[in-house]
Chain A
Amino acid sequence: MSRTIILDEIVPPRAPWSHLVRKGETLRIIDLEGNQSADFLMYAAADDTERYSAQDTIAAQRNVYLRAGSMLYSNEGNPMALVAATDVAYHDTIGGACSRESNTLRYGFHTLSHHACVENFLDANLRDGRGKRDMVSNINWFMNVPVEADGTLGIVDGISAPGLHVDLLAQMDLVAVVSNCPQINNPCNGFNPTALRMVIAGPS
């Protein structure tokens, strides 16, 4: 990106991150070490009752996977961000965010105290006047959830690699919230949560 760099920072493993991205700016998320799920939500900066909607996005593009060219829609049907580029074949928006509570179902009650993405989303949102009602189905950049013919699905080994990225071109002023996924009970982070790099670039 030969554009003005507004922000360039590292999200440590397991940590939340949140930042304003203005219309026309591009948020690049870089999977530094490969196969690190970047759980992602966004809210309209002007009115956070408008937020990313996985179902509206899926219905609009008639496909459950996010690829280069996918437009990400809000619950009001407005374009929020364009997947302007990505060197990963597809990303997930049906698998949701891990939580302490769902971990108890998926892996056993011994995982209740494991840190989880819902904790990160809630932590970041609570600092910004939002709360649990603002949790909706999210995007998992760099996460692989195949759906088989009979509907069988699951989080399986990733298809990302060190240094691969996704570029999101903001279509409105938005607040991006990321959970650098701390999950260690499935392959979404290669069983080893690693850092992400976030770069916000000005309009071209």
Chain B
Amino acid sequence: MSTTANPQGAQLHARAMGDTRIETMPTLPASAAATRPPGVAADHMLWETTLPAGGYAGKELRRGARLQLQDLYGDACVSMLVFNAERPVERFNVADTIKVQWNAYLGAGKLLLSDMGRVLMSLIDDGAGTHDMFCGASTAHSNAQAYGDGDNWGAHPNARDRLALAAGKFGLGRKDIHPCINWFKGVRIAGDGATELQGGPFAPGRSVTLRAEMNVIVVLANCPHRLDARVAYTVTPVRASAWRGTPTPADDPIRNATPEGLRAFLNVDDYFCR
């Protein structure tokens, strides 16, 4: 007779799985994280999870928290959306982010701006330097062309539908899926406007660290870059971790780096005057 023919047997079977450990899973509690950034106490950890190829996640973070993404094996591609957690109709705006900062590329010190003239997050450390704000998330359509299918229930999930599931769990819908950032895979713009992919694979262990400047919802999807020409669906696990931090002080160098950025921080301060 099957070991799962009755509820007791099924319970034993289920509970026997509970201590299984694999690489691509969350660590609970986050204080038990296997690797903590230098100087971060265990009880300051807020989140640690490792996303597989095609994986997704969402996390709410308070103002001041740090979020680190680590490309463990050098071939991750993390599409990210950011919302104001209190009022998600305010969200990351890629056009304002490049236009206000007079530059097309992300790097240490850059701000992720919302569509309301505020800083959602700032990039406090960038160990990669290859990121993309132009080519967006893969879609069911583009993955079908590249891999034969792109559905959430298949072997080649696409980034936009992963982001939609992640955002959906915060009550958000398809209209909330806005133009995204892709971390770790870079796109550079040639003189004639052509997009040039910096596709790697890169050295393992590169990371980016962000600081939440507002209370935010971050959603992530780890799927091959839209311009990745490799025949196989190729993307390696990424670790996301977060820890507590203090809100940015008035003398912070990133806050004061540019007049445009300072006004974005002043708009954040104004928002929290309540």
Q: Does B38 contact A (CB under 8 A)?
A: no
Select from chain A the residue with minimum beta-carbon distance to B89: A132
Contact across chains for B179 and A147 when beta carbons are under 8 A apart:
no
Contact across chains for A59 and B226 when beta carbons are under 8 A apart:
yes
Contact across chains for B192 and A63 when beta carbons are under 8 A apart:
yes
Q: Which residues on the B side are within 8 Å of A153 (C-beta)? A: 98-99, 102-104
Which of A49, A64, A105, A135 is the one whose CB lies under 8 Å from B117?
A105
Contact across chains for A94 and B263 when beta carbons are under 8 A apart:
no
- Contacts of A103-147 to chain B: CB distance below 8 A: 103-106, 108-109, 118, 131-138, 147
Inter-chain CA distance A27–B243, complex, in Å, is 52
Contact across chains for A78 and B141 when beta carbons are under 8 A apart:
yes
Which of A96, A106, A151, A155 is the one whose CB lies under 8 Å from B189?
A151
| Interface bits B147-179 vs A (CB < 8 Å: 1, else 0) | 000000000000010000000000001111111
Contact across chains for B139 and A105 when beta carbons are under 8 A apart:
no
Which of A58, A90, A102, A103 is the one whose CB lies under 8 Å from B195?
A58
Once A106-B260, A132-B89 are accepted as A-B contacts, the answer to whether A151 and B193 lie under 8 Å apart by CB is no
Distance in Å from the Cβ of B110 to the closest Cβ of chain A?
10
Contact across chains for A151 and B176 when beta carbons are under 8 A apart:
no
Q: Does A12 contact B (CB under 8 A)?
A: no
> Could you say which of A65, A106, A109, A154 has the most chain B C-beta atoms within 10 Å of its C-beta?
A106
Contact across chains for B135 and A55 when beta carbons are under 8 A apart:
yes
Contact across chains for B104 and A151 when beta carbons are under 8 A apart:
yes
Distance in Å from the Cβ of A96 to the closest Cβ of chain B?
2
Given contacts A90-B193, A132-B115, A135-B115, could you give 14 more A-B pairs where the C-beta distance is less than 8 Å? A55-B180, A59-B195, A64-B195, A75-B139, A75-B177, A77-B140, A77-B141, A77-B142, A99-B96, A134-B175, A137-B94, A151-B188, A152-B103, A152-B104
A interface list, Cβ under 8 A from B: 49, 53-56, 58-59, 62-65, 75-78, 90, 94-97, 99-106, 108-109, 118, 131-138, 147, 149-155
The 9 closest A-B pairs by CB, nearest first: A96-B95, A55-B136, A77-B141, A101-B117, A65-B193, A151-B105, A151-B104, A133-B175, A59-B135
